[in-house]
Amino acid sequence: SQKIEQNSEALNIQEGKTATLTCNYTNYSPAYLQWYRQDPGRGPVFLLLIRENEKEKRKERLKVTFDTTLKQSLFHITASQPADSATYLCALDMSGNQGGKLIFGQGTELSVKP
Amino acid sequence: DGGITQSPKYLFRKEGQNVTLSCEQNLNHDAMYWYRQDPGQGLRLIYYSQIVNDFQKGDIAEGYSVSREKKESFPLTVTSAQKNPTAFYLCASSIDAGWNEKLFFGSGTQLSVL
């Protein structure tokens, strides 16, 4: 079955640096991959979606890459700020033709220190 | 404001009791979902509904039941058959059940056992 692995250890970085989070998956490559942000006690909030034929996607200070050969997605936050501190989840589609069934990684907790 | 409303924020269940978690959306979305989140684990899909009066089991449906009588509402009942119900429950919706649709989440319900 498809498995997703994200950095299990929390990532601590200094304000202004670039944070890089990893999402690895096994088995078949999904048609698309999504990243979400989750704050404590809150529901996840959608950030970015990248399709298998897109190598890179950007939104303001966020950048996502998708390497189907390595079976990996990287999520970058440039010029990080303390307000970026949260848990970041990646999610993959289970099957392109059945719709809506995303499987989520366990998330990586990011802490940005001033 | 459009969004998804979950209630209550906190819920306590006594042994042998059924409890119902409410989820309402005013986004006019066709698809709705229930996920369970345990500490250090990814979100796991309990049930999903692609259209009114229809729903499908997710990966961990045992001990849970749902209904979808109205487009706006997708309540989840945690039955006494669910022996380990303590978790953070998240309701989500998407425009439709297309495989590339992003999910909108509610703020969650924390269920604990007395």
> Inter-chain contact B104–A46, Cβ cutoff 8 Å?
yes
Q: Which residue of B has its CA nearest to A90?
A: B42
In this predicted structure, the answer to whether residue A68 has a pLDDT above a threshold of 90 is no
- Closest chain B residue to A43, measured at CA: B107
% of chain B with per-residue pLDDT over 70: 96
Does B38 touch chain A if contact means CB atoms closer than 8 Å?
no
Q: Got the DSSP string for B64-75?
A: EEE--SBTTB--
With cut-offs at 50, 70 and 90, classify the pLDDT of residue A53. confident
The answer to whether the CB atoms of A100 and B101 lie below 8 A apart is yes
> Over chain A, what is the mean pLDDT?
90
The Cα–Cα gap between A44 and A41 comes to 10
Q: Which residue has the tokens 């890179």?
A: A56
Q: What is the pLDDT of residues B56-89, one digit of tens each?
A: 999 899 999 999 999 999 999 999 999 899 999 9
pLDDT at residue B23 in the model: 98
- Work out the pLDDT band at A97, boundaries 50, 70, 90: very low
Determine the Cα angle at B48 with ends A87 and A4, to 5°. 40
Which of A9, A104, A108, A109 has the highest number of chain B CBs within 10 A, making it the mutation to test binding with B?
A104
pLDDT at B1 over 70: no
**Any chain B CB within 8 A of the CB of A96?**
yes
Which chain A positions have a beta carbon within 8 Å of B107's beta carbon?
Answer: 41-43
